[in-house]
């Protein structure tokens, strides 16, 4: 398992660190049907927690992970 050390910034300003892509169960855009225009994503992790991630406030690596999780192609 490859360690990522990616930090998502949540809509409440707090942060959640993701260690592996395997930690992510589902990602979906919340505020726009087109994920490329969305600014808020709902992320569900394998521990059962669901977070609202602020795409704009998250760093470039986190943004890439969000898009890849929605559209792996």
Tens of pLDDT, residue by residue over 40-54, are: 999 999 999 999 999
Is this structure's pTM higher than 0.85? yes
Tokens matching residue 66: 């969000």
Task: Give the tens place of pLDDT for each residue, 15-29.
Answer: 999 988 889 999 999
Degrees, nearest 5: CA angle 47-13-25: 25
Tell me the three-class secondary structure of the chain, residue by residue.
CCCCCEEEEECCCCEEEECCHHHEEEEEECCCCCCCCCCEEEEEECCCCEEEEECCCCCHHHHHHHHHHHCCC
CA gap 59, 63 in Å, rounded: 6
């Amino acid at each position: 398992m490859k360690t990522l050390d990616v930090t998502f910034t949540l809509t409440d300003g707090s942060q959640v660190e993701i260690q592996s892509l395997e930690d992510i169960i589902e990602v979906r855009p919340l505020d726009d049907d087109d994920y490329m225009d969305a600014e808020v994503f709902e992320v569900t992790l394998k521990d059962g927690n669901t977070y609202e991630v602020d795409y704009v406030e998250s760093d470039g690596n986190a943004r890439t992970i969000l898009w890849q999780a929605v559209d792996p192609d």
